[in-house]
Amino acid sequence: MSQFSSSVNAVVSSASANLDSATHAKAIQLASLTLETCALAGVGNPTVAIAATHIVTTLLFHAMRWDPTDPRDRAGDRLVLSDATFAPLVYAACADLGVPARIAGNWRPLTLSDLATFGAADGPLATTPSSDTVALVEHTGGSRGLGLSQAVGNAMAARLEGVDRRVFCLISDAELREGQHFEALAHIIEERLVGVLPVFVVGALAANDRAAPVDMPESIGRRLTAMGFHAIVVDGHTPAQIRDAVEQSVAKAKSNQPSAIIARCTKGWGAKSIQGGAWTGRVPTGEKLKSALEELRSARVGLTRSFGTELAKPAARAKSAVSPMLPLQDALDTVPDFARAMREADMLAVYQGGRLSTRRAHALALRAIGRAHEGISLFECDTRANNISELFAADRALAPRFVEFRSATSHMVSTASAMSAMGRVVFAGASARAFGRAHEPIEVAARSGTGVVLTATTAGLGAIADGIGATSTSDVTWFRSLCAQRNASGSPLAYLLQPADAFAAYALTLAATEHADLGQGGLSMLRLPAGDQEFLYNAETVFNLGKFEVLVEGRDLLIVTAGAMVHEVNRALDGLDDAGIDATVVDLYSIPFDEVALLDLANKNGGRILVVEDNVGGAIAGAVSEACTAGGDAFTIESMCVRALPMSAKSFDEALRLTGLSAAHIVACASRMLGVETGSERG
């Protein structure tokens, strides 16, 4: 080796040693701040958080290409927290870097003194970070197992925009058995999303005992390698190894191979007195805190140099040049009405026939909206079964914005939520039954205020011919729990929309798109029944979120229904007339709805309300009952819903008979409410 080469190596070695020393010093500082922050708040899981102190320090201060003063610039790299446990550590780093935070309603650089507000009920630094806490955080965390899907959505948005953005996802060992992670990992490999770098923070100790061998770094690495990842196992407290792993991931990305880092870490690193399973989930205070902080200070000896350099703040990247998109409302103004869309699809004969499935009308609307605005994306699970993408995916210009998620419904929802947070409106379609498995990611998406429209196909009893395993009758009940909640501005967390015919499906798709725009940022679910439906409406009918439609006006009884059951109630009208009952029929296509207007109709019908729905639990009846209670007047409410799901039925009509929801049953129930004898009773 030449003297020149030796000199160069010596300089490189010295620089690396100085960087290691500076990283250790900063990691110890952030770990100490994390312990103090949690102790003051009395909440958090600080020993788990500081297990990632070197990883967070290396990423935020060295490896990531980003501007701490503008973390949401399109070109900047991202850090996604899959487990909210890491929040106090990340808050400490953000305070050190001066990352903008929303304090008292305004964005300003976070300071070390702001850390004292962590966990306070009215404070800005929530234990579960969201996009309204610090600018570094763009996706609501806290629900274990969702973070990698969010990272995928962020990276997919970057791919559509042509932006070279890397997304690092911090995953705790408490999440290793969460199935959604494996849905996301499979998607990363299938789509070759090299911009996503999962970072697993793995310890030898679990909450109560030693971690299982299958959850140890080497075992995780073998599984990831088998999937197709370049898996890199590192010491999570050796800065040089972490830096080298990131550099390896960059090199592998050039050959289109995704990478993953598995970091062997110690819970309570640097403070031996709080290392152990007994301290997982506990906050050191008092003398125990003093001892831990002293141990961290002592850890500097041998790891840092007294003459070492300080870690510099990341240098700002050149700002992205992504062109702004057309305002969504301007684009929606150009979308053709339903009749014109049918003509353009060469479906004039079908239109004149007066019958079309709500699913097909929704597909028409999706293509029209996608053509009008480049920010519309469509995701779908089990495409062949649901087929809402039939027109969108077949359009050459729209196809790049369509993604098939196979059966990974939970992953699809979280990915859609993350992509919408990046400025896109995402439609996510699956069977109503499949969405039941994705309740938690849907709830997180609703609380995040992201612009996602869920399309639940084959909803209600219409799918009964495929067996009870394919029939969803509880979706209205659990989704209504989101509709009943309000966000900080007082708006509903979500809207449930149940179109009864193709006109309604087309119009409500447009209304949901407008609601999903970032100006409002709302979640909604379109619940589409199976089969074709007769046209009930025309181009003059206006559909708005939070409203309903009066189909028939009467004075004896208010019948409230939605979706496919609107047609069955219509079929009952002749029988009601024969019984001398003058009924008002309301298509309650939206939950929430205009409660005052509905109660006015009820009062005009003697305060008598019959609710008819093809789901269990009487969710629509519950919403109407709550409105009546709040109104304060006296009402009589009868609920007709699914009480017991038949084991089998060959058709929707047969299912209605077996569940007591047929037109004849509706007439009989209405007659009992009014004390009227039916023809069969008189005979």
The overall average pLDDT reported for the chain is: 91
Question: What is the CB neighbour count within 10 angstroms for residue 505?
Answer: 30
345 phi, psi to nearest 5 deg: -90, 10
pLDDT number for residue 11: 45
Find tokens 């207007």 and name the residue: 597
- Greater confidence (582 vs 205) lies with 582
- Residues 385-411 have pLDDT tens digits of 788 999 999 999 999 999 999 999 999
Percentage with pLDDT > 70 across the chain: 95
pLDDT at 677: 72
Q: What is the pLDDT of residue 647?
A: 78
Neighbours of 166 (CB within 10 A): 24
Over range 602-614, report the average pLDDT.
Answer: 97
What sign does the dihedral 423-376-434-547 (CA atoms) show?
A: positive
657: DSSP letter = H
Each residue of 629-663: pLDDT tens digit?
Answer: 998 888 999 999 999 888 778 889 999 999 999 99
How many beta carbons lie within 10 A of that of residue 394, not counting itself?
Answer: 11
On the question of pLDDT at 317 being above 50, the answer is yes
List the structure tokens of 295: 């141990």
Q: What is the pLDDT of residues 1-33, one digit of tens each?
A: 555 455 545 444 666 788 999 999 999 999 999
> Does 275 or 276 have the greater pLDDT score?
275
157-166, 271-280, 436-445, range with the lowest pLDDT: 271-280
Spans of all domains in the chain: 18-299, 328-534, 549-682
Residue 14 has a pLDDT of: 65
User: Out of 3.30.1450.10, 3.30.413.10, 3.40.50.970, 3.30.460.80, which CATH number does the structure's domain 18-299 have?
Assistant: 3.40.50.970
CATH number of 549-682: 3.40.50.920
User: What is the per-residue pLDDT for 204?
Assistant: 78
Over residues 531-543, the mean pLDDT reads 94
Helix, strand, or coil here: 226?
A: helix
Structure-block tokens of residue 48: 């788990």
DSSP 447-501: HHT--EEEEEEEEBGGGGGG-GGG-B-SHHHHHHHHHT-B-TTS-BSEEEE--SS
- Residue ranges of the alpha helices (H) in 589-678? 595-604, 619-631, 652-658, 663-674
Quick one: how far is CA 28 from the chain centroid? 35
**Per-residue pLDDT at 250:** 97
pLDDT in tens, 183-192: 999 999 999 9
pLDDT in tens, 57-68: 999 999 999 999
Per-residue pLDDT of 431-462, as tens digits, reads 999 999 899 999 999 988 888 999 999 888 88
Mean pLDDT of 229-247: 97
In the predicted model, what is the mean pLDDT of residues 274-298?
91
Position 519 scores a pLDDT of 57
Instruction: Report d(CA 477, CA 575) in Å as an integer.
Output: 30
| Same fold? 18-299, 549-682 | yes
Residues 6+ apart with CB under 8 A from 656: 461, 568, 614, 662, 665
pLDDT of amino acid 13: 62
- Residue 681, pLDDT score: 46
Of 133, 53, 160, the closest CA to residue 415 belongs to 160
**678: confidence class by pLDDT, cuts 50, 70, 90:** low
| pLDDT confidence of residue 2 | 59
Confidence of residue 142 (pLDDT cuts 50, 70, 90): low
Task: Report residue 140's pLDDT band, with 50, 70 and 90 as the boundaries.
Answer: confident
Structural tokens at position 454 = 């869920």
pLDDT digits (tens, 9 = 90+) for 349-375: 999 999 999 999 999 999 999 999 999
The proportion of the chain whose per-residue pLDDT surpasses 90, expressed as a percent, equals: 76
- CATH assignment of 328-534, given 3.90.1170.50, 3.40.50.720, 3.40.50.970, 3.40.50.2000? 3.40.50.970
Give the residue-averaged pLDDT of 421-436: 93
